[in-house]
Amino acid sequence: MRIAVGQCWQETNTFNPQVTRWSDFEAMGIAYGDEVVERYGQTGELSGFLEEFRKLQPQAEYPGLARFGCWPSGSIEAGTWKRIKETFVERLQAVGKVDGVYLTLHGALCAEDDPDVTGTLLKLTRDVVGPDIPVVGSLDLHANITLQMMQSADVLSGYHTSPHVDGPQTAARAARALNWLLSSGKKPTTLVRKLPMITAAESHNTFVGPPAPLYRRLEELERHPDVLSACLYMAMPWYDQPELGWTYTLTTKSGSPEWQKVIDDIAKDAWNLRHVMEDVERFAPDKVVARALTVSGKPVVVGDGADATNSGSTGDSTSLVIEFLKQPIPGGALSFMIDRNAVAAAYAAGEGNTFDAQIGGRLAAYSPPVRFQGRVEKLLDMKWILSGHICNNLPIDMGRGAVVRSGDVTLVLCERSGPGSSPKLYECAGLDPRNFKIVVAKSPAGFRADYSPFAADIILADCPGPAAAHWASLKFEQVNRPLFPFDNVASPDVEWCRNASMG
Ligand SMILES: [Zn+2]
């Protein structure tokens, strides 16, 4: 038995003006053919899929197609997307006869010329292998589900957790679904309900947040022998594309009409959460500092969702740094910034020497550059392995880096974006976030997985940026309307959602 495997993963923030280029994929690692399993078989969803499928079908082989992974950022440049598409099609044609295909995907990925990269890739895959070969995939909980995706794949399996800590388990579910498709020779039935809503990412917590009970129900549903996949996708909200909205999907073996009521009930309960999901307490930068300084103990972890590199923001906002520089912060403040020029300035100055350069505010017009005068403490290579929220064993390369300090403010400067949710970013720079009074995580919610165990307190910041929580501050032009919270939508049963639903 031969199962072709591949990956195309990135989360796109359409409000980040920095397009994603081939070199950005190269920085995180492109692999072809056998390299896909050799290099990434122990990483994230692919590790979970292989481990489970090897148990089910010990004789199976896994010809690799290609692996394209890139840290969340702006839309993929059209020429890069064309090369990625061509690569997948060529590899799929060259690999010979396969019995099934597994793709590890995100689901909120768009290109300059394609609002639905994931759906297009699944459609191209389907076109090559034909209608009978099973195609399955795994998706992030923030996937923006499109009809094209659901019609092209047999089964898509999405995370049940946010923070995302069940990538391998999600892929294992896809593996079990694939095994059923292969052994039964049958096709499953999928019901899809699109809801006309997006909601604050800080509330996307499936453990203690408002949607937690819905995810417990999904887990219970997936224990039913007839269910292959039950998912609730809360959608990447900074994604100005037509079918943007929450989506509930249920894939069953039997296609029994009884499932209709189940999906309608859960979709109704999800819809009823929309107002409470938007009710989030955030603080302006001056209030963040004032509040943090009243907390006893350290660190106070500040979630800067608007500049969340985990949500595809630029990671170069100066909103908080400007505030930190205004006053003494006993215990110190620690943040990071994506700024290639500032790194070059640090390298030009050299370790131990004076640093005096404009930093940040260049990649998107949401905050001004700021003059940072201090000392270069350290020059580094920002290569490390991410395990925790989002992935396990994921090689990260944020390029060259530097630690610069001005008074009580310490910054890690990096050439390229990376996981703003992880304390390992600071640890790889030789800094222990536990030793600072204030530590910035550039993530709206996922950072809690790795910071909560030692944070003295957590504060959510209210800043401008490509991933800002104030929807009105961003220009949504492509989304279907009506859409909560832009419109006063009385019922989820609106025309465009009916058209975007299945079953
Ligand atoms: Zn996500």
- CA of 162 from ligand 1 middle (Å) equals 7
**pLDDT at position 225:** 97
Q: Are residues 239 and 322 in the same domain?
A: no
Q: Are residues 225 and 324 in the same domain?
A: no
- For residue 500, tell me if it sits in a domain: no
pLDDT digits (tens, 9 = 90+) for 436-455: 999 999 999 999 999 999 99
- CA of 233 from ligand 1 middle (Å) equals 9
Rounded mean pLDDT, 251-256? 97
For residue 503, pLDDT beyond 90: no
- CA of 9 from ligand 1 middle (Å) equals 11
Q: Of the residues 277, 301, 335, which one is the last residue of a structural domain?
A: 277
For residue 412, pLDDT beyond 90: yes
- CA of 234 from ligand 1 middle (Å) equals 9
pLDDT digits (tens, 9 = 90+) for 45-82: 999 999 999 999 999 999 999 999 999 999 999 999 99
Residue 320 and residue 335: Cα distance in Å, rounded? 9
- For residue 480, tell me if it sits in a domain: no
- CA of 55 from ligand 1 middle (Å) equals 28
- Whose CA is closest to 324, among 420, 463, 422, 473? 463
For residue 142, pLDDT beyond 90: yes
**pLDDT at position 237:** 98
- For residue 494, tell me if it sits in a domain: no
**pLDDT at position 274:** 97
Q: In CATH, what number is assigned to the domain containing residue 119? A: 3.40.50.2300
pLDDT digits (tens, 9 = 90+) for 201-244: 999 999 999 999 999 999 999 999 999 999 999 999 999 999 99
- CA of 464 from ligand 1 middle (Å) equals 21
- CA of 27 from ligand 1 middle (Å) equals 21
Q: Are residues 253 and 302 in the same domain?
A: no
Token pair recorded at residue 242: 């037509």
What percentage of the chain has pLDDT greater than the value 90? 99
**pLDDT at position 389:** 87
Question: Domain total for the chain?
Answer: 2
- For residue 496, tell me if it sits in a domain: no
For the chain, give the mean pLDDT: 97
Q: What are the residues whose beta carbons fall under 8 Å from the beta carbon of 80, sequence distance 6 or more?
A: 20, 21, 22, 25, 111
- For residue 502, tell me if it sits in a domain: no
Q: Are residues 263 and 297 in the same domain?
A: no
Q: Are residues 43 and 180 in the same domain?
A: yes
Residue 323 and residue 283: Cα distance in Å, rounded? 13
Which residues crowd ion ligand 1, with CB under 5 Å? 140, 142
Q: Are residues 221 and 353 in the same domain?
A: no
pLDDT digits (tens, 9 = 90+) for 349-367: 999 999 999 999 999 999 9
Q: Are residues 269 and 290 in the same domain?
A: no
- CA of 85 from ligand 1 middle (Å) equals 23
For residue 270, pLDDT beyond 90: yes
Q: Are residues 238 and 327 in the same domain?
A: no
- CA of 409 from ligand 1 middle (Å) equals 30
Q: Are residues 190 and 292 in the same domain?
A: no
> Residue 128 belongs to what domain range?
3-277
Q: What are the residues whose beta carbons fall under 8 Å from the beta carbon of 357, sequence distance 6 or more?
A: 341, 342, 345, 346, 371, 372
- CA of 155 from ligand 1 middle (Å) equals 19
**pLDDT at position 390:** 87
Q: Of the residues 212, 244, 277, which one is the last residue of a structural domain?
A: 277
- CA of 8 from ligand 1 middle (Å) equals 15
> Residue 15: how many CB atoms within 10 A of its CB?
23
Q: Are residues 264 and 329 in the same domain?
A: no
* Beta bridge pairs of residue 378: 403
- CA of 142 from ligand 1 middle (Å) equals 4
